[in-house]
């Protein structure tokens, strides 16, 4: 991807990512499987990834808001449980991982689509179960976890649409041992 003789950031990031061979680590045997270009460029695929990006931005805002609330409460002299700090940090790290998967899936990598789809199913369940533990988090953090889960369900909904499941068919089994 060159633009007026310059390398664009996505192209540079893709080169660095591939040079480090992180697709092989993250994608395993299916690391090289990429969907057909015409499906990747389909307007519904582009629209789906646009929704996913916006939902991830919303998740980032929710995660940052949790940290801001914890900082404000701490500055006001209230004790913020260690579990809140841990949870807020983990949510941001999880979201960064989801950005990574979304980026690679948008480039057509099936492994990234599969990981994003799997995590969009697992994370809401884990989050809601943990939020239901009495006394672990203050009420405002429980609300944050519910919002996080709703956004993750939204990502999962986009990923499991008929179009996206057709766009990212299950890759053929690798013949390598």
Q: What single string gives the DSSP state of each residue in 121-134?
A: HHHHHHHHHHHTST
Cβ proximity of 115 and 103 under 8 Å: no
User: What pLDDT score does 6 carry?
Assistant: 55
pTM: 0.79
User: What pLDDT score does 31 carry?
Assistant: 58
Residue 30 reports pLDDT greater than 80: no
Q: At what angle do helices 43-75 and 139-159 cross, to 10 degrees?
A: 170
Of the two residues 25 and 67, the one the predictor is more confident about is: 67
- List the one residue out of 108, 126, 113, 96 whose CA is nearest residue 155: 113
pLDDT tens sequence across 134-176: 999 999 999 999 999 999 999 999 999 999 999 988 776 655 5
Residue 49 reports pLDDT greater than 70: yes
């Amino acid at each position: 991807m060159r633009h007026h003789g310059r390398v664009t950031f996505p192209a540079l990031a893709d080169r660095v990512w591939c040079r480090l061979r992180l697709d092989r680590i993250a994608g395993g045997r299916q690391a090289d499987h990429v969907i057909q270009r015409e499906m990747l460029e389909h307007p519904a695929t582009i629209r789906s990834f646009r929704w996913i990006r916006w939902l991830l931005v919303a998740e980032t805002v929710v995660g940052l808001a949790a940290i801001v609330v914890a900082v404000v409460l701490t500055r006001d002299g209230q004790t913020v449980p260690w579990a809140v700090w841990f949870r807020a940090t983990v949510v941001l790290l999880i979201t960064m991982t989801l950005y990574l998967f979304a980026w690679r899936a948008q480039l057509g990598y099936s492994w990234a689509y599969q990981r994003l789809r799997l995590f969009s199913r697992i994370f809401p369940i884990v989050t809601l179960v943990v939020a239901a533990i009495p006394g672990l988090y203050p009420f405002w953090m429980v609300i944050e976890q519910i919002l996080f889960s709703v956004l993750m369900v939204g990502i999962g909904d986009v990923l499991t649409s008929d179009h996206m499941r057709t766009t990212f068919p299950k890759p053929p089994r690798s013949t390598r041992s």
